[in-house]
Structure 1
Amino acid sequence: MIALQETVTKHWSFHTDVERLGWLTINTQGAGVNTLSREAIMELETLVARIEDLASSGEVIGVILLSGKDSGFIAGADVSEFDAMSDFSVLPEALKRTHALFTRIEKLKVPVVAGIHGFCLGGGLELALACHYRIAVNDEKTRIGFPEVNLGIFPGFGGTGRSIRQAGPVDAMQIMLTGKMLKAGAARGLNLVDKLVRHRDMLAWEGRKAVLQKRKSVAAAPVKRLMAMGPIRGYVASKMREQASKKANKAHYPAPFALIDLFEAHGNDWQAMSRGEIDAFVPLMGTETATNLRRVFFASESLKKQGAKGAKFARVHVIGAGVMGGDIAAWCALRGMAVTLQDIEMERIKPALERGKALFKKRLKSKREVDTAMLRLEADPKGKGVARADVIIEAVVEKLEVKQAIFSGIEDQLKPGAILATNTSSIELERIAEGLKDPARLIGLHFFNPVAQLPLVEVIRSTFNSDAEIGKGAGFALAIGKSPVVVKSAPGFLVNRVLMPYMLGAVKRVEAGESKELLDAAAVAFGMPMGPIELMDTVGLDVGQSVARELGQAVPAESKFAGLVSAGKLGRKTGEGFYKWVDGKAQKGETPPHADLAGLGRELVQPLVDTTEVVVAEGVVANAGLADIGVILGTGFAPFLGGPLKARADGRA
């Protein structure tokens, strides 16, 4: 297309063609993804003023908004500016300015069409919703949503009202309250997107047609809007609070509840709800919760820079089809890897394949996708996959001699450059690597149970390892959608080292007669995702006993803990431990009353915080920031507190 008039700024370009179509492209300078920084918004104001003039004179008959980056449309506002923006003297005016800009876009006399590929999140989705029509690429890379709740806020550029206008109150609030990212098809089903195309290169052509045909998105059906009308809205808001309370404590995470309050006040009028955002949004930005969640966000993002560049992983071989090994194999297959799963006989592999299929059914949308994933997960009792694998992960019982025998038996079969890894939860790598010809090749890739839910992988470095081997290990973790934290080979590494004093301390109190339900409830009141006794059952009592032994904290033979292990009552995986488990849920009795539940929780968590400080001092992790994010990702330690060491520094742990 011939550019007749062109304007280029730092982050945007705009030109018109012979058909009088305006082409507006965002390409954030010096970044891998597009974001709406204050500078980008100011530049957009200038461009919108120009488009308004061209539309009034008839020189532009419509505008197509696209991204110039392969990574996607717009990933949201620039989070790096949030600390400065939390200043009450700055934030309200900045929000009002952006609201006014998006309203001007919406009121343009010519059609404005957004062409979406890749990430369209937060402020990016809010800008797209201010356009008149939205087209998205229907592939696995497209993700659409409002993740703001994960940063302790909610949409603040008019997205609350506009999403309700498009998707209806219940669906829109669900998206905002959960922070869930939608695939293109789901977004289309919710009316957030108007048309789907197969490839990114079709966006410009379909955008052109949408402008020429003056297409305009249609609001949600009236029947959907009924849920925000009259007294029904109060009932819906009450139900939303009830559901939100099951997942978050209002004192810890105020944003979802503030959003529900906003909906209850204005949910029947999308424009009033958008206007009301500013007053409701401003108090959230400067809260300790939002500040700490931003810290967690940046720490998580920094983990993505650890992987070796250029490393490719297509085939994975997992040795050990127990709960951990089988679930690691299934996760790798879900993420697109070809996986071979080995154990001493087929009967031991079958349960892992069944669990894998259940995971695929839960995560994938069609039978064809499930069947394809199952084809990627192959039983391999004879270990033929070792020689072809890019990554070999051992995940057998925590016994040194067993692990040593496995590695000495396969070392000569490995192809050049393949990662050789152990999923050990506590044994130093140097001991496992003793019998290898090349001990530098063995690294640790320690996953956490349940594998599909916990994002952390500890990449364990022995005294033999090079930066290159560790970089490949971190790169593999990133390739399967996990967050790698590099830790030094030492008993218990990071997460188990800090968890065991916490869990064993709670177990000791139960052995002394205290209520396990009370202790678990106290930990949750403090901000943990589950209590220490339920966590011990989830980890597995046998694993807990083994790790305790490795850390020199032997479980007394006469204890209830040891008795449960001897009886084969190992927790969730066997259906009984300290609790009985039904359908994956601990069956709990009544919680005794307590005057200060959160205070008791703080007391319980103290050994974890103390040990984290020791681990940093010993150099097991490089710094306090890595320790905090590792413990958050590996244990679920209260993200709103910013991690155990940040919480201690703030006087909150």
Structure 2
Amino acid sequence: MNPIILDPTQDPDQDHTNVLHPHHPHHHIDAPAAFKRDIDSDGICWLTFDTPDSSANVWNHATLDQFDAQIEEVHRDSTIRALVIRSAKPRVFVAGADLKNLSTLPPDQLNELLILGQDVFTHLESLRIPKIAMIHGACVGGGYEMALACDIRIASDDDATRIGLPETQLGLIPSWGGSTRLPRLIGVPKALDLIVRGKTLKPHHSKKLGLVDHVLPIENLEAFAKKLALSEHPPLDHHRFHPTQLSPLPQLLRLYTKTTLRNKYPWMAKNPTAPLSAIDVVTRGATRTVEKSLAIEQRTMRELIGTTSTKRFIETFFRKEAASKKLPAHLAEVRTTPITHAAVIGSGVMGSGIAYTLASRGTRVVLADTTPDALANGFTRIRKLLRGGVKSHAITRVQARDLDDRIQPTHETVPLQHQQLIIEAIVENLPAKKALFADLASRTSPTTILASNTSALSITEMAKDVPHPERVIGLHFFNPAHLMPLVEVVTHPGNTPEVIATAIKYIQSLGKTPILVNDRPGFVVNRILMPYLLGAVALAEQLHDPWEIDDAMLEFGMPMGPLRLLDEIGFDVALHVEQTLRAEHGNRLPTTNLLQRLVESGHLGAKNHKGFYRAHHEKSGPQPNTDILKYLTPKSYPPYKEKSDIANHLNQFMQEEAALCLEEGVTATAANIELAMILGTGYPPFRRLLP
């Protein structure tokens, strides 16, 4: 094989194509075998990736070395007519690089791994026989980069199959050939969009965009791979070139995409980011040779991997993975009950969103409300979500139909004995919720979990008068429920470990990330968020241009400014949460009566187009509502002149409240608090909320 570059400090624009290098020494061949090679009577080599004692296949020094040795054996065997690469794992083809290994390697070993990965996949690409990636399950990151080095990619249509290059979501870039080969396969514009956004796609969408060549049922994959391998003229993808590589298109795309990204995410202008680096790598590499493009990948990856930002992104990824897949240590051995039937009470925005979320993962859902009109409005929202899901390729038409069939509407009082879980999503009023739970207790099994979607009210109070109070728990979804990944699982002292563990396990089965919190007003996210929002409202009263506050927080890294967020929440809802928290925390919250005055004057935010912004326009975005200015009393000398001062002032509210949450034991760890804020509010992962 021919490594691309010996010295990583060499200029990537220097030509290395005339230098031959020996094979990498295989230092990890003695590691447990992760590959099995079978050659059938037709001369097809079936190479199966199956990492021992692991549910996933990942790339590290050992597996790359072993894979390279297998490729070399195939290269030496002249009887082999074609190579098919497959996985023995039921839900994973190759899950990319071993991130734990990647994030802890010293610089010299990291550099060796970057070079090794590129060289091994180039070795694979250089084989002069048809190479077929037979994909079933997750094929992401380095897994898909390996598939790109093959001539043909076929994928199962199974729901477990996901394909793409999500590295930018971890603060990295595809650096084992993905940033080089994908633009040459599908064109620079499409590849740039997928790589910069870090998107992973379902099989049929992948085929539509050209990431794979064929999609078919899993039971047909092997026969089809064999048919392709034995065809008289199988396609060989050796010297790919796409017309979009021609100048000046890559240069124009670089300018346009960077400008668009910085306008949409102002914080990127002052922070080193993987998406901006990916734009440079893809567009600069597209106009150079493959060898030079691969060298640019290496150089950029080395720069990114050492940054604090990337380390924080990777750290957050591991926290999210653990919270999304494992029970907390003290519940690890607790027996849980599968939930297949549920009911959602209340078909408003949150109720219909929760029902959609549950049904999308196979749960049969009774959606109940008091009137036919309310139910009709709820189903209108659900069907809008279904149409959007089909349009965006998140679900197929068949899946949309099946999802719709799993939701049963009712405006009558019906028995709910067979539902293992009831989630109430009615008005945020404690007496109303207590009355509902008393009624539900008479219509459900004693083992049915009764959950409240409250954002701030006491679960302990709701459980007081309910028979078997141990089954009452909080499941606080965030809006929009089908998209937001966080669910706060709120417990009270009477809950049993079985109820808590079952709730957590079920939330995980929905593809959500549960954070276990104790029953304290506002829980974690709203408690930390409210002082920040009220601080922004108090500051807005003093500024001639209050919308500068939102600009400051966008530059800080928040996905939405606090004033616009208040518009989306609704001033009336925010005021209710403020009153609940102020009753508990008193003067610790910033003092302002602006929200009260706005609500009394009929200003409710986005819901009635009377907020800090006017109605959101698709092209121009939300426009400032200058009518708000008459409710403000700006100072001649504003307290803050620089946007960074505004951001630091408002961030301090969040930091101080987060520290108090940790001190009071609202949740177990600082990591839980930070993860909840990242997933629930979009708090920038590259910043630390707690020391």
Give the TM-score, by structure 1 length.
Answer: 0.91
Does the residue aligned with 2:283 lie in a helix, a strand or coil?
helix
Distance 2:337 2:147 in 1: 35
Structure 2 residue corresponding to 1:566, chosen from 593, 600, 611 = 600
Shift of 1:205: 2.0
Aligned AA for 1:531? G
- Opposite residue 530 of structure 1, the aligned amino acid is M
Match of 1:4 in 2: none
Which residue identity lines up with residue 619 of structure 1 in the other structure? G
Deviation at 1:310, TM superposition (A): 6.2
Please state how far the C-alpha of 1:218 moved relative to its aligned partner. 5.6
Distance (whole Å) between structure 1 residues aligned to residue 379 and residue 165 of structure 2: 34
Of 158, 163, 173, the match for 2:182: 163
Paired residue type of 2:298: I
2:505 matched to 1:475? Answer: yes
Q: Distance in 2 between matches of 1:209 and 1:278?
A: 37
Question: Does structure 1 residue 305 correspond to structure 2 residue 326?
Answer: yes
**1:84 counterpart = 2:104:** yes
Conserved? CA contact 2:359–2:407, under 8 Å: yes
Looking at structure 2, the residues matched to 580 and 291 of structure 1 have their Cα atoms a distance apart, in angstroms, of 39
Matched, 1:537 2:567: yes
8 Å contact from structure 1 (residues 237, 261) kept in 2: yes
Q: Partner of 2:408: helix, strand, or coil? A: strand
Q: CA deviation at 1:92?
A: 2.5
Distance of 2:517 and 2:107 partners within structure 1 = 40
User: 1:102-113 maps to which residues of 2 (within 5 A)?
Assistant: 102-113=121-132
Q: Report the secondary structure of 1:515's partner residue.
A: coil
CA distance in 2, matches of 1:180, 1:385: 43
**Partner residue of 1:355?**
381
> What residue in structure 1 maps to residue 229 of structure 2?
211
Aligned partner letter, 2:524? L
Contact 2:537–2:594, Cα closer than 8 Å, also in 1: no
Matched, 1:374 2:404: yes
> Cα 1:573–1:316, aligned 2, differ >3 Å: closer, same or farther?
farther
Residue matched to 1:618: 664
1:239 and 2:294 matched: no
Q: So what's the TM-score if we normalise by structure 2? A: 0.86
Question: In the alignment, is the contact (CA less than 8 A) between 2:451 and 2:474 conserved in 1?
Answer: yes
2:543 is aligned with 1:525: no
CA separation in 2, counterparts of 1:385 and 1:455?
31
Question: How do 1:122-161 residues align onto structure 2 when only pairs under 5 Å count?
Answer: 122-161=141-180
Long gaps (5+) in structure 2: 1-29, 329-333
1:520-572 CA-partner distances (Å, limit 9, x unpaired) = 11111111111111112222222222221221268999933113323453222
- 1:448-597 matches, cutoff 5 A: 448-513=478-543, 515-552=545-582, 559-582=593-616, 586-588=622-624, 596-597=642-643
In structure 1, the residue corresponding to 2:108 is in which secondary structure? coil
- Given residue 115 of structure 1, which amino acid in structure 2 is its aligned partner? M
- In 2: Cα distance, 1:8 partner to 1:88 partner: 23
Where do 5+ consecutive residues of structure 1 fail to align? Answer: 1-6
Aligned to 2:9: none
Which of the numbers 76, 84, 88 marks the counterpart of 1:68? 88
SS of 1:475's equivalent in the other structure is helix
Cα offset for 1:175? Answer: 0.8
Correspondence 1:43 to 2:60 = no
Contact 2:553 2:562 in 1 (8 A): yes
Candidates 262, 269, 277, aligned match of 2:281:
262
Aligned to 1:638: 684
Q: Is the 8 A contact 1:449 1:538 kept in 2?
A: no
8 Å CA contact retained: 2:614, 2:625: no
| Percent of aligned pairs with the same amino acid | 31
Secondary structure of 1:24's counterpart equals strand
Q: Which amino acid aligns with 1:39?
A: A
1:289 to 302, 306, 309: 309
Map of 2:211 onto structure 1: 192
Q: Distance in 2 between matches of 1:212 and 1:568?
A: 73
What is the identity, as a one-letter code, of the residue corresponding to 2:530?
A: M
1:114 aligns with 2:114: no
Counterpart Cα distance in 2 of 1:257 and 1:394: 43
Aligned amino acid, residue 374 of structure 2: R
* C-alpha RMSD of matched pairs (Å): 2.6
Q: What's the secondary structure of 2:432's corresponding residue? A: helix
Please report how far the alpha carbon of residue 449 of structure 1 lies from its aligned counterpart in structure 2 after TM superposition: 1.7
Instruction: Note the C-alpha offset of 1:171.
Output: 0.8
Q: 2: CA distance between counterparts of 1:69 and 1:26?
A: 8
Q: Once the 2 structures are TM-superposed, how far is the Cα of residue 431 of structure 1 from its aligned partner?
A: 0.6
Gap change, CA 1:557 and 1:182, over 3 Å in 2:
closer
Report what 2:25 is aligned to: none
1:506 is paired with a residue of what secondary structure? helix
